[in-house]
Amino acid sequence: MPVVLTFDLTDYNANDHGRLRAMFERFGWENLGGTAYRYPRLGTDDQPVEDWLNHVAPAIMMFRSYLANHPEVTLTRFTLDANASSGFNPTSGFGRGVVPAAQAATYQATHPGHFGMANLENWLDSIPYPY
């Protein structure tokens, strides 16, 4: 089942738009046009269940991080719609547990120069646990 994210921003530039798009795409999301994204990409069935731990949650975290670190950008609308199932059971071989960033952000971006793979991997592998 897909996860669909839409948002509207003000006061952000074309470079930021490209970076956000590339970031979502590297986590396996498909750009549906403008600032609408779908996970998993339409027509893919490479996994039996959405990989929330490695593709959905990190993309939402990075989007939140972008907003928190760009106070000049205003989020005017945001929706996250999901009719999803996610899980991991190593005994039955269902789903995937948390994997290193190099295995989570493996998808090709439409414009890969907008968001470098090394930067994304470094960010994801460096998020500290606060306690």
| Cα–Cα dist 76/6, whole Å | 11
Predicted confidence at residue 72, as pLDDT, reads 95
65-102 pLDDT tens trace = 999 999 999 999 999 999 888 888 989 888 888 998 88
Predicted confidence at residue 14, as pLDDT, reads 86
**CA distances (Å), 21 to each of 35, 79, 97, 111, in order?**
8, 16, 25, 8
Q: What global pTM score does this model have?
A: 0.86
pLDDT > 70? residue 23: yes
| Cα–Cα dist 12/117, whole Å | 22
Read off the pLDDT band of 38 (50, 70, 90): very high
Q: Where are the domains of the chain?
A: 3-90
| Cα–Cα dist 5/78, whole Å | 7
Predicted confidence at residue 42, as pLDDT, reads 83
Predicted confidence at residue 47, as pLDDT, reads 58
3-90: CATH class: alpha beta
Predicted confidence at residue 1, as pLDDT, reads 74
Read off the pLDDT band of 44 (50, 70, 90): confident
The chain-wide mean pLDDT, for the chain, equals 88
Read off the pLDDT band of 5 (50, 70, 90): very high
